């Protein structure tokens, strides 16, 4: 989305950020361009008979890099979808997967549609037909191209895509692995719906473990009590805001939505506000906060952390200079344009970039894909065995304690927590937390030590591009 004449397009913005990192790497001649370009973009147009007439829809599936397959990336339903946007998002997926060491190339898809204009049955018809068009071209396939949810899509669409693939590939035993983000009862994994927002929380928790990085943003202390502005209370924004406020003590002072913003300086009740939006379609009229009509102006309000979690290019040349947040975490893809990025860095704003910040989704999608291919849920073989080993230790400690007169008995809470073996959700969260910490460490090492790297985004791109380059070089390209 271009919001200003001087502003590069989304894809140009991603390319500019890539170029900056590539200039710091000693890549063999020609490899830089090979990595930057999008390998292919398919446009499909198809008709669906709805409400007594045929409606024609336009969709895209773009493959950015096949250095590792399958390629991976969400499917977005939005009227703003276009070739430039899917190509930018596909490129970001390549770098994101490389940064979090998910073994995928980058891809992205989109359908030009406002899903709110259609009922559930109509959306199923449209989704099935779109999936059919992509499947017959091998643009959805467990070994080649595995979509996931993105803006405007969710578990229901993913379940429909998986079913459509299974109908067209009746003997493929790995059919379920053709798409991730499915509901748990249709081959999904626990913790996938919350994964991207959970990843945003883990990314912030990791950032706040490093006093030298917190100081770069001019902040101090922990997430507790930090004032946060969230834009977009959809899948990503809602989960991030919910976890930060309920578990880390952060105060969500503003939520910005399509129809305006809601403010409470003492902190909004995210669950309550989310229920209101689900029921009324927007924030207007919400009784437990102050309504502000001009939502985008709220991005410029005072806060400690700004979380754009809606769409791209919302922080651009027109408002970057006015942004007061010292720390921005890009929960959405591409919310800060390349021009705005430079203005903010000049001001000393620390930006935790999209390719890291919202990688929780693809990370848990990776776990789901592995689960589908292995045909067994994580923890099924070990859980009870782990519990009986823990029980052995507890029994032994209790025996020793009794021997010493029973003075040091364990608290029931500790005993209960210690005895419980990890189920799928605990394992998914543990794997996600580990991934976010490891990826941060890789970026931070470059950020602090590599000459010419002044920000986390360039650091993230340096890590990602050098990994993609190594993969191409190992294959002899």
Binding residues vs ligand NAD (CB under 6 A) = 149-152, 196, 231-237, 256-258, 295, 309-311, 331-333, 358, 361
- Of the residues 72, 96, 108, 182, only one is catalytic, namely 108
- CA dist., res. 51 & res. 461, Å (int): 47
Smallest separation, CB 362 to ligand NAD (Å):
7
Minimal CB distance residue for ligand NAD: 234
- CA dist., res. 201 & res. 230, Å (int): 13
Smallest separation, CB 311 to ligand NAD (Å):
5
**Judged by CB, which is closer to ligand NAD: 142, or 237?**
237
- CA dist., res. 471 & res. 271, Å (int): 44
Given a contact cutoff of 8 angstroms between Cβ atoms, the answer to whether 422 and 430 are in contact is yes
Q: In what order do the strands lie in the sheet with 53-65?
A: 40-50, 53-65, 105-111, 71-77, 145-149
DSSP track, 358-393:
TTHHHHHHHHHHHHHHHTS-TTTTTHHHHHHHHHHH
DSSP track, 283-309:
STT-TTSEEES-GGGGGGS--SEEEE-
**Judged by CB, which is closer to ligand NAD: 79, or 477?**
79
Given a contact cutoff of 8 angstroms between Cβ atoms, the answer to whether 245 and 270 are in contact is yes
Smallest separation, CB 176 to ligand NAD (Å):
18
Interacting residues of 349 by C-beta distance below 8 A, sequence separation 6+:
217, 323, 325, 326, 327, 328
CA angle 206, 209, 211 (to 5 degrees): 130
Please state whether the peptide bond connecting residue 433 to the residue before it is cis, i.e. omega within 30 degrees of 0: no
Smallest separation, CB 475 to ligand NAD (Å):
28
Q: Is 216 a catalytic residue?
A: no
Smallest separation, CB 294 to ligand NAD (Å):
11
**Judged by CB, which is closer to ligand NAD: 161, or 214?**
161
**Judged by CB, which is closer to ligand NAD: 24, or 94?**
94
**Judged by CB, which is closer to ligand NAD: 13, or 333?**
333
C-alpha dist (Å) from residue 104 to 2, 236, 355 = 29, 22, 14
**Judged by CB, which is closer to ligand NAD: 223, or 241?**
241
Q: Tell how strand 290-292 and strand 260-263 pair up.
A: antiparallel
**Judged by CB, which is closer to ligand NAD: 135, or 241?**
241
Please report which helix (H) or strand (E) contains residue 159, including its range.
Answer: helix 155-168
CB count within 10 Å of CB 348 equals 10
Smallest separation, CB 185 to ligand NAD (Å):
19
Smallest separation, CB 298 to ligand NAD (Å):
9
Tokens of 391: 């029980």
Question: Which candidate, 285, 287, 279, places its Cα nearest to that of 259?
Answer: 285
Smallest separation, CB 195 to ligand NAD (Å):
6
Tokens of 283: 């924030």
Report, as residue numbers or ranges, the catalytic residues: 108
């Amino acid at each position: 989305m271009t919001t200003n004449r001087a502003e590069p397009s989304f894809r140009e913005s991603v390319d500019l950020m890539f170029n900056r990192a590539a200039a710091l790497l000693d890549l063999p001649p020609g490899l830089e361009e090979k990595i930057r370009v999008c390998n292919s973009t398919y446009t499909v147009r198809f008709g669906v008979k709805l409400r007594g007439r045929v409606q024609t829809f336009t969709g895209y599936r773009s493959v950015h890099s096949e250095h590792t397959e399958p390629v991976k990336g969400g499917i977005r339903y939005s009227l703003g979808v276009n070739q430039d946007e899917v190509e930018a998002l596909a490129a970001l997926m390549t770098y994101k997967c490389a940064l979090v060491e998910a073994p995928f190339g980058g891809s992205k898809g989109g359908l030009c549609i406002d899903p709110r204009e259609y009922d559930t049955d109509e959306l199923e018809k449209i989704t099935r037909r779109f999936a059919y068009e992509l499947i017959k071209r091998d643009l959805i396939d467990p070994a080649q191209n595995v979509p996931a949810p993105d803006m405007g899509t969710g578990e229901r669409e993913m379940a429909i895509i998986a079913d459509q693939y299974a109908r067209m590939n009746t003997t493929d035993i790995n059919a379920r692995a053709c798409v991730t983000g499915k509901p748990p009862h249709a081959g999904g994994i626990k913790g996938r719906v919350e994964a991207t927002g959970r990843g945003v929380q883990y990314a912030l928790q990791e950032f706040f473990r490093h006093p030298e990085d917190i100081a770069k943003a001019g902040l101090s202390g922990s997430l507790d009590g930090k004032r946060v502005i969230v834009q977009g209370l959809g899948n990503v924004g809602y989960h991030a805001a919910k976890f930060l406020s309920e578990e880390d003590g952060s105060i969500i002072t503003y939520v910005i939505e399509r129809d305006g913003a809601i403010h409470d300086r003492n902190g909004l009740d995210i669950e309550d506000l989310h229920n209101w939006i689900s029921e009324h379609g927007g924030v207007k009229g919400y009784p437990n906060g102050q309504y502000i009509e001009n939502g985008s102006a709220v991005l410029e309000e005072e806060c400690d952390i700004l979380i754009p979690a809606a769409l791209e290019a919302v922080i651009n040349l027109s408002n970057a200079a006015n942004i007061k947040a010292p720390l921005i975490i890009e929960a959405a893809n591409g919310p800060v344009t390349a021009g705005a990025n430079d203005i903010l860095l000049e001001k000393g704003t620390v930006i935790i970039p999209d390719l890291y910040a919202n990688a929780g989704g693809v990370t848990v999608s990776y776990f789901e894909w592995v689960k589908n291919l292995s045909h067994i849920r994580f923890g099924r073989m070990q859980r009870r065995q782990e519990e009986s080993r823990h029980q052995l230790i507890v029994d032994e400690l209790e025996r020793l304690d009794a021997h010493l007169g029973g003075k040091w008995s364990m608290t029931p809470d500790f005993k209960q927590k210690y005895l419980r073996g990890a189920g799928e959700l605990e394992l998914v969260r543990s794997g996600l937390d580990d991934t976010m910490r490891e990826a941060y460490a890789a970026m931070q090492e470059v950020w602090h030590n590599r000459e010419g790297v002044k920000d986390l985004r360039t650091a993230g791109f340096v890590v990602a591009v050098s990994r993609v380059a190594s993969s191409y070089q190992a294959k002899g390209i």
